[in-house]
Amino acid sequence: MIKKVKLFTIRHLPFAICYLFISACAPYVAYKKDYDFKKIKKIAVLNFDSYIGFDSSGMVVRDEIIRHLIESGITVVEREKIDKILKEREIDYKKIKKILGADAIITGSVIKYIPEKEEYVYFKDNEGNLQYEVKYFDAEVGVSARLIDTETGEIIWANTYTYESFDLEAALISCVRGLLRNLIILIRG
């Protein structure tokens, strides 16, 4: 006699929803498992490509990454020194290490930069009077970053993280914190 087995029942639904929610929030982290991240003492933060329509978003994300790295106890190379070297010549990671003493470089792209907004929706009620509702939309920031070893030029860590919040500043801070969480743990050990 063959017995039929139910693979999914209604009581499994809450677990499935929780799994989907958790996996949707997870960052996309990849890193070299055999790399000694603890040897990274100084990081140079290069420019980040801006999100379309928000030309300064790359600079804003870069500044927040610098702030968060310093707050986490990691030494960061002065931004103007990096910009000067990059204007003079092509990117040569070994020269950046030699001139600036940076063990690694972090760079990337802003993949989402959407400020919070409110929209008014106008409609007529049952009596023909003009009414409106206000709809609020959260801000969203997404960043894709990679860490490059200055000795080898090899990408040793990469992550993509997106965060949605009630305002742009909160979304930015939380996005960068989530983006760098794994990297800081790897460096600190």
pLDDT of 17 higher than 60 = no
What is the domain count for the chain?
1
**Residue 160, in any domain of the structure:** yes
**Residue 7, in any domain of the structure:** no
d(CA 83, CA 55): 17
Tokens read off for 77: 């190379």
Q: What is the mean pLDDT of residues 40-62?
A: 95
Q: Using the Cα atoms of residue 63, residue 66, residue 70 and residue 76 in order, give the sign of their dihedral.
A: negative
Please tell me the predicted confidence (pLDDT) of residue 9. 56
Between 128 and 87, residue with greater pLDDT? 128
Which residues on neighbouring strands pair with residue 142, listed in sequence order? 112, 162
**Residue 15, in any domain of the structure:** no
pLDDT mean across residues, the chain: 85
Residue that the structure tokens 């890193």 belong to: 31
Which domain CATH number covers 110?
3.40.50.10610
**Residue 13, in any domain of the structure:** no
What does pTM read for this prediction? 0.77
Whether the Cβ atoms of residue 100 and residue 82 lie closer than 8 Å to each other: yes
Alpha-helical runs (H) found in the chain: 13-25, 57-71, 79-88, 93-100, 168-188
| Domain with 124 in it | 28-188
